[in-house]
Amino acid sequence: MNWIASLALAMTNSICCAFSSLFVQPWLITDVDLTEYPQLTIPLPFRGIIFGVMLPEPSQFEKEHSRRLQQQILAEIEEKGPMTFARYMELALYAPELGYYRCGSQKFGEQGDFITAPELSPLFSQCVARQCRQMLMDLPMSDILEFGAGSGVMARVILQTLAQLNSLPQHYYILELSAELQQRQRQEFQNHAPELLPTVIWLAQWPAHFRGIILANEVLDAMPVHRFGYCQGLQEYYVVNQQGELAWRLGPLSTPQLSAQLEKLTDAFSDGYSSEINLLLPGWIAGLDVCLDQGVILLIDYGMTRREYYHPDRGCGTLLCHYRHRAHANPFWQPGLQDITAQVDFTAVAMAAVAGELNVQGYTHQAAFLLNCGITDFMTGDEDPRSRISLSRQIQRLTLPGEMGEAFKVMALTKNYEQDLLGFKTLNQLERL
């Protein structure tokens, strides 16, 4: 996401501690009684100001779109009772036709809400392509599978780079559930690389017996999360209807699964602490394990190890919302119009992987991965001063600690593949997990 987020998080840290959240399927919580638990309400933003962040005014059409989704959410709360934050996040992002990722609004790039590394610079995807090439050379007749390809830019640049290196895969599969994003991805290839379109195949479900490399760039951060708080014991934040508006309410933990996972982390908590946890992650990793027969899974996302994630000083968690390149901490503002994200606990990813048949072969920050893949090579031979300045700026944005370089992490999971990976040849930080 746009890393103005880090500044917004620092500015709002003391405020957002009061507003935490979590996840569970709605039918599991219909009998939760919250009458004895205190209620927290977030005041409605005045003229689009949320925790000191001025947000652009949505159009009337956008407001109506958001109102329809909010009414759907409130109706479910009225029917089934208090809603876990995970269910709310699921609806806000993925409700058919109304959720953020299911409607037709521009999300990526300068005209959207955030810029991902592939939109920022083709150098990112070219480096990923180099890592793909290594594995494709080791496993002939193998494929690439990308989860949630966004605008399609990364897929297009990877294939263009591999074509230049005479290393095209048999197929480039894209698992994309959004019909609108599928169309944008097709258009990206039709506009810039029509000759590569026959290589690309869109899927509606996970393939079986996959052999090759699986890519997931900024996928895990969009998974619905539960949000919890600690006040003389673990509690959960629910979403309730407060006079026709969405509001927080503390309550008991919604499922034994959530309780069991949080009990493993209790030593890190003190009164006033709040954070989030992703209960979908182990099942998703287990699905990858079943899907993959041989190859590499490359996960790229912003996150950290468990020790860092649940550090006592990170007492408000990592939940952030993005709208028109502004970041703020109110997930109830205009649902359906803004992205909602939580950072990734990469220790949890590693634990889920080794619980099956996957190996954790690499973990490092984005800067190290890109440098290992030779990002500076792309400046060699370019004599145009303006071009060299542009490339230098792109490399800085992708690798500097204050930009994307250390906030984003890269993890490699392998199965029946023992070769050392190019992107982790130096600064492999497995011991930190």
The tens digit of pLDDT for each residue in 356-383 reads 999 999 999 999 999 999 999 988 877 7
Are both 63 and 162 inside the same structural domain?
A: no
351 located within any domain: no
Query: CA-CA-CA-CA torsion for 229, 233, 238, 241, nearest 10 degrees?
Result: -110
Are both 259 and 408 inside the same structural domain?
A: no
184-209 pLDDT, tens per residue?
A: 999 999 999 999 999 999 999 999 99
Structure tokens at 187: 């258009």
The pLDDT of residue 380 is 80
Are both 109 and 125 inside the same structural domain?
A: no
Are both 18 and 60 inside the same structural domain?
A: yes
The pLDDT of residue 24 is 31
Range of the domain at 198: 117-217+358-428
195 located within any domain: yes
383 located within any domain: yes
Structure tokens at 200: 């690309």
Are both 73 and 90 inside the same structural domain?
A: yes
Are both 59 and 101 inside the same structural domain?
A: yes
126-173 pLDDT, tens per residue?
A: 999 999 999 999 999 999 999 999 899 999 999 999 999 999 999 999
Write phi, then psi, for 413 (nearest 5 degrees).
Answer: -110, 140
CA angle 228, 231, 232 (to 5 degrees): 130
Output the pTM of the full model. Answer: 0.87
Q: What is the count of structural domains for the chain?
A: 2
Distance CA 363, CA 332 (A): 34
417 located within any domain: yes
Are both 337 and 370 inside the same structural domain?
A: no
305 located within any domain: no
Are both 133 and 97 inside the same structural domain?
A: no
229 located within any domain: no
The pLDDT of residue 108 is 57
Distance CA 300, CA 218 (A): 6
